[in-house]
Amino acid sequence: MSVDPLALYVHWPFCVSKCPYCDFNSHVRSTIEQAAWREALLADLAHEARLLPGRTLISIFFGGGTPSLMDAATVEAVIEAAATHWEVAADIEITLEANPNSVEADRFTDLAHAGVNRLSLGLQSFDDKALRFLGRAHSAREGFRALEIAQRNFRRVSFDLIYALPGDSEAGWSAMLAQALSLGTRHLSLYQLTIEPGTRFASMAARRSFEPLEAEAAATLYELTDAMTSEASMPAYEISNYGRRGQESRHNLAYWRYQDYAGVGPGAHGRRLGMRTVRHRKPENFLAALRREGHGIAEELPLSATEAADEALVMGLRLREGVDASAIAKRFGLSSIIDWSRVERLAASGHLTKEGAHIALTARGRLLLDHILGEIAAAQPRVYAVAS
């Protein structure tokens, strides 16, 4: 039997309200039929499991949306079903994303009993004014309380903060980050505010209701973040993720190291045996597809060797550890995926490091990831063998 590692992503698409910066697949509904959703997720999971037999499950990640609003019984049922479909690694990581309002925090004990062993808490800020600007449904005080409850209930706790808000200063952000680093978690996700197309913030910014922070000021805050987290022995291991050694999100590492993952639930993406899978986004469409087809898949797209290699490069360069460009090319049967002369130039300018075929971005380079990818990706890699 194959012991290839597999990660499982489960998407819960509902939130109590829509945050103005959010472009995730999240929906607000007045009622949610928990039992119907439990059955739907289990059926979608069973379909995916039939197509991925004989794997060892290393991670389950409940994302959203707001999965802390799922019935604990549903979370437990999904975990139990996954364990019947696949062999489960002894140290499996089971993460759930949670919002810190008091109703949700009171559910943490039940979620821990359901089998969740890592909580990722969306604190976003310790400042009530910033939380109001971000349209969050919790206060800073509720955030601290939720963190305390989470730390009592889960072995591993991470939380998110959003910075580079309009008007953010070095002094203000470094004070908030110092506080974040003192709260005893061993993992943090620190995101810069980005204005995504189609969000309420995008229309507000277009109307000049606020001025986004200038790119240069945001870059300074990123470098400050890099320095402070390194100093606290929680360095960046990915563009926006920081942690002590061994505390990295194993689930996200599976994405970035380009391993297979099954994605179930509305709008979930997956990577299955050289194929990209996408589920129906709208909850009602997802349920209708399940009734019709027995699964929620909207699209299954076989990836060409070039596409897969490009994706592996893009994902891998997000990581501080970087990538072995020759190993990726070999994995997908390509002669080369990198323009090495440009790599040399970017190494000379301090944007990346290169040792043999191994390349990794520096903090300065991580700020310019998209630009650098455009620079170094070889235009048309040649295929010399069929990727297996």
Binding region for ligand SF4 (CB under 6 A): 15, 18-19, 22, 24, 26, 64-66, 99, 122
- Closest to ligand SF4 by CB, 21 vs 258, is 21
- Closest to ligand SF4 by CB, 135 vs 235, is 135
Q: Min. distance of Cβ 161 from ligand SF4 in angstroms?
A: 13
Chain-centroid distance of CA 70 in Å reads 19
Q: Which two tokens stand for residue 137?
A: 């449904």
Give the closest residue to 350 by CA, choosing from 183, 178, 223.
223
Q: Min. distance of Cβ 19 from ligand SF4 in angstroms?
A: 3
- Closest to ligand SF4 by CB, 122 vs 333, is 122
- Closest to ligand SF4 by CB, 66 vs 125, is 66
Give the closest residue to 322 by CA, choosing from 332, 312, 331, 330.
312
Write 207-211 long-range contacts (CB < 8 A, 24+): 210/133, 210/166, 211/166
Q: How far is 143 from 149, CA to CA, in rounded Å?
A: 10
Q: Min. distance of Cβ 286 from ligand SF4 in angstroms?
A: 16
Q: Min. distance of Cβ 80 from ligand SF4 in angstroms?
A: 26
Q: Tell me, what amino acid is at 335?
A: S
Angle (CA) 23-298-369 rounded to 5° is 45
- Closest to ligand SF4 by CB, 18 vs 364, is 18
Q: Min. distance of Cβ 17 from ligand SF4 in angstroms?
A: 7
Residue with tokens 């969306």: 122
- Closest to ligand SF4 by CB, 139 vs 353, is 139
Three-state DSSP at 54 gives coil
Q: Min. distance of Cβ 293 from ligand SF4 in angstroms?
A: 27
Q: Min. distance of Cβ 151 from ligand SF4 in angstroms?
A: 21
Q: Which two tokens stand for residue 206?
A: 């277009």
Angle (CA) 151-153-156 rounded to 5° is 55
Sign of CA dihedral 12, 263, 265, 275: positive
- Closest to ligand SF4 by CB, 26 vs 306, is 26
Helical H segments across the chain, by residue range: 34-51, 72-85, 102-105, 108-114, 128-133, 140-153, 170-181, 200-206, 215-231, 250-256, 283-293, 305-316, 325-331, 340-348, 363-366, 369-376
- Closest to ligand SF4 by CB, 63 vs 365, is 63
Q: How far is 309 from 325, CA to CA, in rounded Å?
A: 9
- Closest to ligand SF4 by CB, 119 vs 325, is 119
Q: How far is 173 from 200, CA to CA, in rounded Å?
A: 24
- Closest to ligand SF4 by CB, 64 vs 115, is 64
| Edge-to-edge strands, sheet with 358-361 | 323-324, 358-361, 352-355
Q: How far is 111 from 75, CA to CA, in rounded Å?
A: 7
Q: Min. distance of Cβ 193 from ligand SF4 in angstroms?
A: 12
Q: Min. distance of Cβ 197 from ligand SF4 in angstroms?
A: 15
Q: Min. distance of Cβ 136 from ligand SF4 in angstroms?
A: 7
